[in-house]
A and B are shown apart, each in its own frame.
Chain A
Amino acid sequence: MTGLLAVAAAEALLLVLAAPLLGGLARTLRARLEGRRGPGVLQSYRDLGKLMRRGPVISDDASGVSLMAPALVFGAMVTAAALVPIGAGWGALAFAGDAVALLGVLAAGRFVLALAAFDAGGALAAGGSAREVTIGTLLMPTLMLALVSAGLAAGSTGLGPMAAALAQRGFQGAGEAQVLALAAVALAVLADTGRIPFDDPDTRLELAMTQGALWRDLSGRHLGLVRWAADVEQLVLLVLIANIFIPGGRVVVPGADSSTLAALAIALAIVVGKVVAVTVGYALVERATARLRFFRAPDLLGVAFAAALVGTIFALYGGAA
């Protein structure tokens, strides 16, 4: 058990360290699809290193919130990383939190960041905060319902049991309920990570932006931390999709015979493969679609919510049949 806990903690640490890599991968993929060379996969680390070495500049009007918020957001996202099962069947903090707690921790991070945008008194950041909060409001119930419909099969709201149930079931029983939940959660994650139909991660000082505007008053180390935290959040959500909504994985359940290092390596490799596949899928979506006007985005999220709701009802009736 202690061994498994150590493995899970190491995995969470790996996730946090590898998160910028995913951002770099997404950017490079998109550039290649658009016919550009792109900055290279490791550029995120170089940017991050540059930002982390620089001291932040904060407004004369700012209160302590500006000083604390970036670290708190980062702390929240690392905690979230320790909640999801990765290759091992349980997150390092799985005993202390389930799916509801995961959403609570993510919401706490979003809340702190949205609040800090008001601290300098500038209107641009606050506008970004308003849009971020709007999107966050709409995707939260979708995520919750999708997770609940995944939890029905496991009979629990714990993320570990959900992943174990899916791994055990495999592709059998992957019915319409699961497809709907996957579609809903994929759309929600697309919105949450600020990708193209909802937001454009590559532009920065444009008024209609969500994340870029929200980070408007951050600089130096603070900006680096918040960007890193956003990368971690993105990877956490992708791992969640890979382990809980896409069948065909393998999780090492504590106490089982197969909990050897080799089994763990295979499980981890499958997760990495799935995450890369989802990233490629997102890059294709980003290449194929144009950005929506902000007030059209809620319609798309409404579709996601409806899909999650119908998926849950299907799952309820499917379980009885």
Chain B
Amino acid sequence: MTQAALPLLVSALAAHSLGGLVAFVTRRRVGRWLSDALALLAAAGLIGAGSLALLAEAPLTTSVARLGNLSSYRLRVDRLAGLMLVLQGVIEWFVALAMPRLLVTEGDERRQGLVRAACHVLGAALTLVFVADDTLLWIAGWQGVAVSSFLVMVVSGDRAGRRAGFGYAVITQVGLACLMAALLLLARDAGGLDFAALRAATVHGRPGLFVAFAGLVGFAALAGLAPLHLWLRYLNPVVAAPAAALIGGVAVLAGAFGMVRFSFELVPPPSWQWSVVVIVLGCASVLYGVLYALLERDLVRVVACFAVHGVGLIFVGIGVASLARAEGAQGVAALALGATLMQLLAHAGAIALMALAAGAVRVAAGADLERLGGLARTMPASSTGFVLALASVCGLPPLLGFAAHWAVVQALFRGLGLHGDVARLLLPAVLGVVVLASAAGLGVAVRVLGPVFLGRPRAGREGREIGGGARLALWGLSLLLIVGGAAAGAVGALTTRAMAGLGLGDAATLAAGAGRAALQRTTVLAGPATSVAPAVLTGVGIAIALLVWLGGRGAARVRRGPSWSGGATPSSDAQYTASAFAQPLRHVFRKLLWPGTVLARLRPGERPEQQVGVVEARVYVPLRRVLLWVGEVARWAQRETVLHCLTYVFIMLVTLLAAVMLWA
């Protein structure tokens, strides 16, 4: 039975290839339909293959082909890969449903076809990333992800798209170069390129440290971790909503998955310094994701900010797990990794839903927060989706995000009990940052939802609800977040099962409630000595609310009247804006956002959306200046005299030899 997973997987890959080809060569309506149908088929295949792999007792492996004696191109579907395949399949399914209606922002049929084709390639590459079992295939998969995402960005053909694509290409190629260096260095010691050899290898000392940090840079770039998150900010406004959902909801998380596979399977346990760096970078992402979201004026950029926030939380989980493993506390490590996987699932659903809902709003009325208003009455599916996605990201019960937050807090709480000053001094602050970011995220949620969906329409834009499959996708993903949160225990059991192969011993620590009743086993998420049942809490709350509401209805009627605001009926332009709402929080966090200025003041002629964040201004702009300067200086080597050339060769030789001597 479980052997059917591999044929399913291969047919999913074939469907993606065929769909990409069809979308690329034809502009007819039949071709578009066929492409979307093939995407649905591929998604179903991925869900099937992933579920079978999750159920399987042992990982399924196969060799694809042999090229010389370099590598054997092995595929391996273990439970972790199974979880990721199910995730990818579910998101892809909804994205394919939403594709026809949400692609209208892309203009003519040719571009729509190109976006579809790029999405197919992205899907196939992601599948490859999840199931690859040797270095070359893995790198090829990552390169496929990078190239197809780049294509999605540049097909729109405008200047912003090209700029965003170029930035993305630079960051991901630097990351991939680091990743390749790490894997090849590892393979040199292992004596082979397939992962089975890599797992057995042990690299210690300075090369080991280099491998661990190079891998971190690689996956941070691919996952959009601060300070390499910049491409996410520029990506979302220039790509169509389905592609944004696919990249933010799956591709970014593939980076997090790669990090888990890399640091828990392929390399020997990295030192605690490495874990601390991961945790600190994760915290920076968590905080800056939310703080950027306070500044953004563009609805789709807010989605990108929350993507950075969620990735940060995932990396915090990975860092805590790794720190616990370095100290030999396997139980805490298992708890933290389980929380990480749960966060990964919650994040994927919420970001995909948010991206699709933002796309629907963008199609209907534009994406400028200051010009939208009152959309809840005309766009119920989009507004419900947006509310649920934001509430889930910020960890409100009963949504899946709450269960994930709860698990992260449990992991941090258990982590406090680790010995060693690092955990004791670092983790309380990490806990504070995580909770602060979630609370500030609620502020951002109100800032986005209030002005956009409530009140009156601004600038005369009413907005019509998106129809067809897109609406179905919005409702479906919303339902998934609710059901996932209500059945938090089942999701926890799933993630526990998925990490069984990661060498953390018996990972049943997370599901400690073995002797519970059947109802509790599905709804209760149990950690050591505590448990929560978000469904029960919410059920009780809503039941009381219903009772109160029904009781009140009998007492006295609700009347309606014109709005009143201090003596006058407010005009729609006098409503509170998103920028005004964010002002107190911006004031509070001004030191973190932009040192030296009081209220992120605008320079003359500058629009708020042109403001760059502190990372961009303090890291990227100087870096670019330095690189340009180096280019200028290096130009003299290109003067065509023999003397210059020989001097250049001599200097490079000495430099490289010195580097090699220092290394050895």
Binding site for B on A (CB under 8 A): 52-65, 67-68, 71-72, 74-76, 78-79, 82-83, 93, 95-98, 100-101, 103-105, 107-108, 110-111, 114-115, 117-124, 126-127, 129-131, 133-134, 136-138, 140-141, 144-145, 148, 151-152, 155-158, 161, 217, 220-221, 225, 294-295, 298, 305, 308-309, 312-313, 316-317
B557 pairs with A55, CB closer than 8 A: yes
Known: A57-B559, A221-B552. A76 touches B440 (CB 8 A): no
Q: What 9 additional pairs, Cβ within 8 angstroms, besides A72-B542, A148-B428?
A: A58-B561, A61-B563, A95-B531, A96-B531, A105-B541, A134-B585, A137-B436, A138-B436, A141-B433
- Cβ-neighbour of B575 out of A65, A126, A144 (below 8 A): A126
B219 to chain A, nearest CB (A): 28
B396 pairs with A115, CB closer than 8 A: no
A308 neighbours in B (Cβ, 8 Å): 432
B560 pairs with A57, CB closer than 8 A: yes
B556 neighbours in A (Cβ, 8 Å): 53-55, 220-221
A88 to chain B, nearest CB (A): 18
A158 pairs with B428, CB closer than 8 A: no
B289 to chain A, nearest CB (A): 15
B428 pairs with A161, CB closer than 8 A: no
B567 to chain A, nearest CB (A): 11
A93 pairs with B537, CB closer than 8 A: yes
Q: Convert B549-592 into 0s and 1s, putting 1 for each residue whose CB lies closer than 8 angstroms to a CB of A.
A: 10010011111111111100010101110001111110110000
B555 pairs with A61, CB closer than 8 A: no
B462 to chain A, nearest CB (A): 13
- Cβ-neighbour of B449 out of A115, A145, A313 (below 8 A): A115
Known: A121-B455, A123-B574. A75 touches B543 (CB 8 A): yes
- Cβ-neighbour of A140 out of B428, B435, B542 (below 8 A): B435
A118 pairs with B454, CB closer than 8 A: yes
B574 neighbours in A (Cβ, 8 Å): 123
Q: Convert B13-47 into 0s and 1s, putting 1 for each residue whose CB lies closer than 8 angstroms to a CB of A.
A: 00000000000000000000000000000000000
Known: A57-B559, A61-B455. A141 touches B436 (CB 8 A): yes
- Tell me, in angstroms, the Cα distance from A134 to B405 when the chains sit together: 21
- Tell me, in angstroms, the Cα distance from A314 to B449 when the chains sit together: 40
Known: A75-B542, A126-B575, A316-B424. A140 touches B439 (CB 8 A): yes
- Tell me, in angstroms, the Cα distance from A165 to B266 when the chains sit together: 43
Known: A71-B552, A104-B402. A98 touches B530 (CB 8 A): yes
B555 pairs with A221, CB closer than 8 A: yes
B555 to chain A, nearest CB (A): 7
- Tell me, in angstroms, the Cα distance from A156 to B526 when the chains sit together: 12
- Comparing B136-144, B408-416, B611-619, the segment that makes contact with chain A is B408-416
A151 neighbours in B (Cβ, 8 Å): 413
Shortest Cβ-Cβ A-B pairs, 10 listed:
A55-B556, A118-B450, A126-B576, A75-B545, A140-B439, A121-B455, A96-B533, A122-B565, A96-B536, A156-B529
B541 to chain A, nearest CB (A): 4
B611 to chain A, nearest CB (A): 20
B446 pairs with A120, CB closer than 8 A: no
A67 pairs with B558, CB closer than 8 A: yes
- Tell me, in angstroms, the Cα distance from A305 to B433 when the chains sit together: 11
- Cβ-neighbour of B558 out of A55, A152, A217 (below 8 A): A55
A317 pairs with B424, CB closer than 8 A: yes
A137 pairs with B440, CB closer than 8 A: yes
- Cβ-neighbour of B555 out of A55, A62, A75, A93 (below 8 A): A55
B428 pairs with A309, CB closer than 8 A: yes
A78 pairs with B541, CB closer than 8 A: yes
List the A residue with the shortest CB-CB distance to B552: A221
List the B residue with the shortest CB-CB distance to A64: B376
B433 neighbours in A (Cβ, 8 Å): 141
A134 pairs with B588, CB closer than 8 A: yes
Most buried by A among B391, B417, B544, B555: B544
- Cβ-neighbour of B541 out of A79, A148, A217, A294 (below 8 A): A79
B585 pairs with A137, CB closer than 8 A: yes
Most buried by B among A98, A137, A295: A137
- Tell me, in angstroms, the Cα distance from A119 to B528 when the chains sit together: 42
- Cβ-neighbour of A68 out of B536, B541, B549, B582 (below 8 A): B549
- Cβ-neighbour of A101 out of B428, B532, B545, B546 (below 8 A): B532
List the B residue with the shortest CB-CB distance to A310: B428
B552 pairs with A61, CB closer than 8 A: no
Q: Convert B406-432 into 0s and 1s, putting 1 for each residue whose CB lies closer than 8 angstroms to a CB of A.
A: 100110010011000000110011011
B555 pairs with A309, CB closer than 8 A: no
A119 pairs with B533, CB closer than 8 A: no
B541 pairs with A295, CB closer than 8 A: no
A124 pairs with B413, CB closer than 8 A: no
B555 pairs with A130, CB closer than 8 A: no
B541 pairs with A119, CB closer than 8 A: no
A71 pairs with B409, CB closer than 8 A: no
A124 pairs with B397, CB closer than 8 A: no
- Tell me, in angstroms, the Cα distance from A157 to B234 when the chains sit together: 40
B185 to chain A, nearest CB (A): 38
A95 pairs with B442, CB closer than 8 A: no
Q: B242 interface residue, CB < 8 Å from A? A: no
- Cβ-neighbour of A157 out of B410, B542, B585 (below 8 A): B410
- Tell me, in angstroms, the Cα distance from A60 to B559 when the chains sit together: 9
- Cβ-neighbour of B425 out of A75, A155, A313 (below 8 A): A313
B455 neighbours in A (Cβ, 8 Å): 61, 118-121
A55 pairs with B570, CB closer than 8 A: no
- Tell me, in angstroms, the Cα distance from A136 to B584 when the chains sit together: 12
- Cβ-neighbour of A312 out of B428, B530, B588 (below 8 A): B428
